[in-house]
Amino acid sequence: MKRCRKCGAPFEPQRPLQVVCSVACSHQWAQTLAARPGEIKARRREKAEALARLETPAEAARKAQAVFNRWIKLRDAGLPCVSCGHPDDGTRQRHASHYRPAGSNPALRFEPDAVWASCSICNNYKSGNLIPYRIELISRIGLARVEWLESHHDLPHRTVDDFRQIRAHYSKLVRDLERERNQVCG
């Protein structure tokens, strides 16, 4: 049994999300909700904030990684695949390919020089196609920077707030790149 949100009478719901007992109460409840849109927005905002407080570092990292990968694909739009040189002509899916795997090198996970757009074939089926990747990477960023990427990096201890800052930073860069491309095209 549930209690009607409008009249307070107990009732047995016919549908899972039913909150009122009758059609008359339903109309009154709809008018009540329409009269207080600010309260509904505030409740939604409170719920979003509560969910954000419950966010784990892994969830925050996934969200930050998704935004970072999108930025990489936008940054490298028009450039050929870093591994095989296949042009960005829309015939192959594009991935943000890490030169050194992010799982075993978390310090380089959000390092822009360590991640470049690659075709899905090189990234998925050829494990990055690393020998041609390295050769192209040297031509793009220089040997000294590639050697730095290949050296040891201490494990970063990132918190949820760190991942949120990374996500906010790259979200801004994504918006800027999209705005820039829309101005050129439009």
CB 129 within 8 A of CB 87: no
The pLDDT, as a whole number, for residue 83 is: 93
CA torsion through residues 148, 152, 157, 158, sign: positive
| Distance (Å, whole) CA 69 – CA 26 | 46
Q: Which residue has the higher pLDDT, 152 or 37?
A: 152
35 has pLDDT over 80: no
pTM of the model: 0.74
How confident is the model at residue 51, as a pLDDT? 85
CA 121 – CA 84 distance, rounded (Å): 9
Q: With pLDDT > 90 as the criterion, what percentage of the chain qualifies?
A: 74
pLDDT of 151 over the 90 cut: yes
Compute the distance between CA of residue 44 and CA of residue 53 in angstroms, rounded to an integer: 14
